[in-house]
Amino acid sequence: MNAPCPPQFEAFDPRILRRALGNFATGVTIVTAHDGVGQVGVTANSFSSVSLDPPLILWSIDKRSSSYAVFERSEHFAVNVLAVDQIALSNQFAGPHKDRFSSVPVRSGAGGCALLEGTSANFQCQKYQTLDGGDHWVLIGRVVAFEDNGRSPLLYHQGSYSMALPHRERQRLPERSAGGSRERLADHTYYLMTQAVRSYQQSYQPEQIRTGWRPGEARVLMILDAGRPLDVSSLVQETDMPLREIEQTLEMLRGREFVQSDGGYYQLTAAGAEQARKVWTLAQHFEDKVFSRFEPAQVRAFKDILKGVIAATTAPID
């Protein structure tokens, strides 16, 4: 009798699989450990809760990671859940080692693991189990202490940093309300702004996706369209994407001859400029369609008010 055939698995292109997996939106964490000699910190979005009783969480680390030795020796690790204004920290802990802890105020948590300031939460864990997860190690930790600061979280979706807005379904107001609270809420600027962004995004995104570009890729094209050649670190500054995503996007754009590089500086080719023009035209066309019911002076005033709101809320309000 013949031995049963082993199951045949499809050999996926890892870059295409990774891109598809990027549809699953996650938070962003920095996981730290201290082995008594040195400390490490790694940006990771593979964090997930596992169990409440016992309290378990997990994350996974690339087997090639140079930080793994410290995680392996350490009895503990701490997961720092980043807040929406901590993109720079996320990039720092995914970048060169020598820069990671520089000018980052930290406190010491369980097992001496670094706890970062200004985060949404942290989970200090004792190592519970390490599993072999293909090209990653899956680290399961038992939570021994945690802090819940409740700050708005930094999100990661389709290779770009993102942020959470209350969903329209959740914001739907009751038909009747006591004392006119419904009307009052419906007229509140925060409610109106989040509603407007949600519904604008919801109707714009299908059109944007039809161009074949993910939002982050479209942004790279639009930024390079300014004409000035840019290096990778300027692109990290000007987009909401981490270094590795920028590098992969540039590699893909170069492979398709939409981008050329000279001495580490990137610019669009004529074919790339044509793609950027298509993305800009779509964005402009959509804006024109939405605002066609208003007078140009009203649209100008609206934009000035939005800029004023951004300026007023970027600096703390007293």
Site track for ligand FMN across 149-168, x = CB under 6 A: -------x------------
* 137 binds ligand FMN per the rule CB under 6 A: no
Contacts 24+ apart (CB under 8 A), 84-87: 84/151, 84/152, 84/153, 84/154, 84/155, 84/163, 84/164, 85/118, 85/154, 86/28, 86/116, 86/118, 86/119, 86/154, 87/154, 87/161, 87/240
Instruction: Please tell me the count of residues contacting ligand FMN according to CB under 6 A.
Output: 18
DSSP string, 105-143: -EEE-GGG-EEETT-SEEEEEEEEEEEEETTEEEEEEEE
- Which residue from 205, 200, 207 is spatially nearest to 278, judged by alpha carbons? 207
- DSSP-based three-state secondary structure for 32: strand
| Both structure tokens of 317 | 């309000």
* 269 binding ligand FMN? (CB under 6 A): no
Stretch that binds ligand FMN, among 55-63, 118-126, 195-203, 279-287 (CB under 6 A): 55-63
Nearer to ligand FMN, 65 or 211 (CB): 65
| 285 and 279 Cβ atoms separated by less than 8 Å | no
Could you count the other beta carbons within 10 Å of the beta carbon of residue 279? 18
Does the footprint of ligand FMN cover residue 66 (CB under 6 A)? yes
Binder to ligand FMN among 39, 60, 86, 275 (CB under 6 A)? 60
| Phi and psi angles of residue 220, each rounded to the nearest 5 degrees, phi first | -60, -45
Least Cβ distance, residue 10 to ligand FMN (angstroms): 24
**What is the pattern of x (binds ligand FMN, CB under 6 A) and - over residues 166-185?**
--------------------
Pick from 33, 44, 230, 259: which binds ligand FMN (CB under 6 A)?
44
Contact 46, 31 (CB under 8 A): no
- Euclidean distance between CA atoms 41 and 48, whole angstroms: 17
Among 19, 35, 55, 65, binds ligand FMN (CB under 6 A): 65
Give the ranges where 54-188 is alpha helix by DSSP (H).
68-73, 87-92, 168-171, 181-186
CA angle 61, 78, 157 (to 5 degrees): 55
Stretch that binds ligand FMN, among 42-50, 77-85, 171-179, 189-197 (CB under 6 A): 42-50
Q: Does 28 sit near ligand FMN (CB under 6 A)?
A: yes
Among 32, 67, 74, 249, binds ligand FMN (CB under 6 A): 67
Where does this chain touch ligand FMN (CB under 6 A) — which range of 54-62, 110-118, 175-183, 224-232?
Answer: 54-62
Ranges within 77-136 binding ligand FMN (CB under 6 A): 90, 94, 97
Examine residue 42 and tell whether it contacts ligand FMN (CB under 6 A): yes
**Cβ closest to ligand FMN, residue 218 vs residue 246:** 246
| Residue ranges in contact with ligand FMN by CB under 6 A | 28, 42-46, 59-62, 65-67, 90, 94, 97, 156, 242
